């Protein structure tokens, strides 16, 4: 057995991010924006790394909730910062961000993972019961939050009334909470593959000093104290919130200068938030652990809706905003196509290269029609 030390960069980046926050007023305007972007990306990656470390200590899939909450804090911070960047808030930004997250995940992220698994391993398998239950929950959340507002009559436009938004926010929490309960308690085995179980056993043996299984030569990662990891996670999240607030005016001005549509800001937020989990899902697919890859992908989409919409709803009540949640006809069509193709993909629990190509083509169409509507 070999022991590897915890990488240093997740501990260094939060400190560097806080240096950027504390000394932002002293930075020259010509390159301050670049410093903030680099520090923001580093803080996001560090935050997710420490959340994953805590998740591993707690045990999967229980630790998935820790990662989901950390990512949601980052997403909500970016949304709120951009909404408050100008005098007149962009009331459609939460909708654009959540929709972008869904499309990036179930077409881009899943497509890349399916293509990678197909190229490297021919066919990849996963538990269809776990994936199909997650996809069913995602479909319900997507329609209730992003489609139904177009067809209600209590509030004009693609918006919910205050009572409707309250009800839908509660329903979102119920659906996400039910999914987490099923994933972590009632049907936990649906979401864990054999390789994952073996790695958990190895990590537990290394932590407790028990002998490792015979012929195991895996490296065991060194562990920092739980309290220190949690503290650095909170510091990284705090830096993300403050850096996002500092970057928000520049992002809004840059989007206007190039004539980008308003939805482009939502895509930017979703890309920043989903980058770490996308890399983790891709690595799992390369290792032929498609179950873990699907858990990361669809779980990210569920957290994006189930936790972000209630958080933004509370903010809208506090600020007196009327959020525009309903999608346009083109976006509804793409969402329906993506959910349909995803349901066919997970139906058999086995995937190949063609599934990945189909998902990625839909993702390319989404990106193109966002820029050229």
Measured between alpha carbons, how far apart are the two ends of the chain, in Å?
56
Does pLDDT of 283 surpass 80? no
Of residues 206 and 34, more confidence is placed in 34
Does pLDDT of 1 surpass 70? no
Instruction: Give the integer Cα–Cα distance in Å for 18 and 43.
Output: 9
CA angle 283, 181, 344 (to 5 degrees): 55
Q: Which residues contact 56 (CB under 8 A, 6 or more apart)?
A: 63, 203
With pLDDT > 90 as the criterion, what percentage of the chain qualifies? 18
pLDDT of residue 33: 79
Instruction: Give the integer Cα–Cα distance in Å for 36 and 357.
Output: 35
Which domains are present in the chain? 2-371 (1.20.1420.30)
Percentages helix, strand, coil for the chain, rounded to the nearest 5? Answer: 75, 5, 20
Exposure of 284 in the CB half-sphere (CA atoms within 13 A):
25
- Residues 2-24 have pLDDT tens digits of 444 567 888 888 899 889 888 87
Does pLDDT of 31 surpass 90? no
pLDDT of residue 221: 43
| Strand positions, DSSP E, the chain | 2-4, 124-125, 219-221, 350-351
* pTM of structure: 0.78
Of residues 165 and 272, more confidence is placed in 165
The count of residues in the chain is 373
Does pLDDT of 51 surpass 50? yes
- Residues 240-271 have pLDDT tens digits of 777 877 776 776 677 667 666 767 777 877 77
Mean pLDDT of 80-105: 81
> Mean pLDDT for the chain?
79
- Residues 295-350 have pLDDT tens digits of 777 887 888 888 888 988 988 888 888 889 999 999 999 999 999 999 998 887 77
Instruction: Give the integer Cα–Cα distance in Å for 247 and 249.
Output: 6
User: 259: buried, middle or exposed (CB in 10 Å: 19+, 13-18, 0-12)?
Assistant: exposed
């Amino acid at each position: 057995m070999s022991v590897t030390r915890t990488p240093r960069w997740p501990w260094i980046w939060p400190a560097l991010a806080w240096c950027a926050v504390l000394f932002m007023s002293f930075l020259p305007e010509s390159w301050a924006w670049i410093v903030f972007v680099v520090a923001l990306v580093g803080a996001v990656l560090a935050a997710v790394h420490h959340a994953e470390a805590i998740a591993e200590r707690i045990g999967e899939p229980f630790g998935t909730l820790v990662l989901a909450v950390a990512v949601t804090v980052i997403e909500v911070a970016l949304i709120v910062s951009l909404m408050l960047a100008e005098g007149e808030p962009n009331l459609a930004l939460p909708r654009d961000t959540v929709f972008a997250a869904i499309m990036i995940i179930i077409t881009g992220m899943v497509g890349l993972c399916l293509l990678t698994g197909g190229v490297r391993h021919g066919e990849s398998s996963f538990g269809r019961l776990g994936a199909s239950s997650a996809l069913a929950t995602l479909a319900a959340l997507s329609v209730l939050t992003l489609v139904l507002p177009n067809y209600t009559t209590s509030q004009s436009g693609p918006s919910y009334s205050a009572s409707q938004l309250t009800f839908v926010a509660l329903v979102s929490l119920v659906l996400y909470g039910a999914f987490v309960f099923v994933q972590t308690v009632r049907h936990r085995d649906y979401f864990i593959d054999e390789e994952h179980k073996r790695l958990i056993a190895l990590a537990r043996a290394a932590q407790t000093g028990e002998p490792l299984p015979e012929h195991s030569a895996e490296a065991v990662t060194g562990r920092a104290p739980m309290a220190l990891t949690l503290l650095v996670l909170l510091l990284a999240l705090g830096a993300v919130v403050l850096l996002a607030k500092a970057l928000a005016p520049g992002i809004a001005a840059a989007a206007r200068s190039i004539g980008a549509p308003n939805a482009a800001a939502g895509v930017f937020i979703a890309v920043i938030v989903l980058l770490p989990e996308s890399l983790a899902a891709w690595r799992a697919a390369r290792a032929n652990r498609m179950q873990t890859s699907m858990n990361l992908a669809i779980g990210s989409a569920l957290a994006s809706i189930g936790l972000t919409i209630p958080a933004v709803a509370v903010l809208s009540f506090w600020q007196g905003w009327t959020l525009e949640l309903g999608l346009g006809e083109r976006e509804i069509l793409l969402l329906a196509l993506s959910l349909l193709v995803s349901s066919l993909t997970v139906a058999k629990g086995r995937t190949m290269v063609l599934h990945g190509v189909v998902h990625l083509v839909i993702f390319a169409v989404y990106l193109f029609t966002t820029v050229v509507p």
